[in-house]
Amino acid sequence: MLIWILLVLSLARPEQLGNPIVIEKSARDVVLALDISGSMDQRDFKSETGGPVQRLEAVKDVLKQFIAERDGDRMALIIFGTRAFIQAPFTEDLNSLNGFLDQTHVGMAGPNTALGDAIGLGIRTFESSEVDQRLMIVLSDGADTSSRMTPVNASAIAAEKNVVIYTIGVGDPNATGEDRVDLQALKDIADRTGGEYFFADDASALAQTYERIDQLNPRIVETQSYRPTNSLAHIPLAIALIVILISTTWFHFAQQRKGVVQ
């Protein structure tokens, strides 16, 4: 009877509940679109020490810090010059994203500025995203000169896709030709998508810009919790086996003693 009860208890598969485990998952995807046209080679940015530094190097230093603080977010990196390319697809491995950023150099995507195409490529990148909060940060130091899609049209499509764009101008608005940053275009892009436009002329101002973006667009977190279970079915099964061995052994010796008595 005891063995039967233990076997039934084992087949019922009793379980022990562990302590609750909470998992936090970011509900935001971020695309960084970085201008690496020829004009980003200008050394008119001021470093923290006050000395001149290349625009792209100053931007990369600030971006690395921004990326490091995005723990939990998925991020992608787009670079653009004459053409726009995906340097890194969406990833939660932010260290690898910084590695791709280190491999980025002025002119590797061409000398011109395809701002509209970069936004369009960012929109296509978001097609694989399943989250509601979609943020694109576009940094440029020149006017659009080589896009197949105008920045205005690209930003209109972004608005339809619920992509919020924050634009940052880092060039010289008083320059001529392709070296002149089109601040009005950057402002229009941000306004159309519900984002904001910023202008930064040194590393400190750029860092403050990214801090401001964080304040305006705080990260949304999805929380999931579960309690792990440990199966206890082996315990009554083991006890049942022990009882079988003991009873069998006892029965065997009992039979031997009965034979000796007879």
User: Does residue 12 have a pLDDT over 70?
Assistant: yes
User: Which amino acid is present at 8?
Assistant: V
pLDDT at 31: 95
Q: What is the mean pLDDT of residues 89-97?
A: 89
- 130 has a pLDDT exceeding 90: no
pLDDT of res. 205: 86
pLDDT for res 234 = 84
Stretch (H or E) spanning 76: strand 74-80
The residue-averaged pLDDT of 92-99 equals: 88
Q: What percent of the chain has pLDDT over 90?
A: 31
In the sheet with 74-80, reading across from the earlier edge strand, the strands are: 84-91, 74-80, 28-35, 133-140, 163-169, 197-199
**Residue 143 is which amino acid?**
A
pLDDT (mean) for 105-111: 90
* Position 104 pLDDT exceeds 80: yes
Q: Which two tokens stand for residue 36?
A: 């690496």
Q: What is the pLDDT of residues 165-203, one digit of tens each?
A: 999 998 777 776 666 778 888 999 999 999 999 998 888
* In the predicted structure, residue 107 carries a pLDDT above the cut 60: yes
> Is the predicted pLDDT of residue 25 greater than 70, yes or no?
no
For residue 23, pLDDT beyond 60 = no
The DSSP output letter for 218 is P
pLDDT of 159:
94
Count how many residues are written for the chain.
Answer: 262
Q: What is the mean pLDDT of the chain?
A: 84
Supply the pLDDT for residue 183: 87
Model pLDDT for residues 211-262, shown as the tens digit of each residue: 888 888 766 655 566 667 888 888 888 888 888 888 888 887 777 776 665 5
Taking residues 68-87, what's their average pLDDT?
Answer: 89
pTM of the entire structure? Answer: 0.73
Exposed / middle / buried, residue 157 (Cβ in 10 Å: 0-12, 13-18, 19+): middle
In whole angstroms, give the CA distance from residue 46 to residue 241: 78
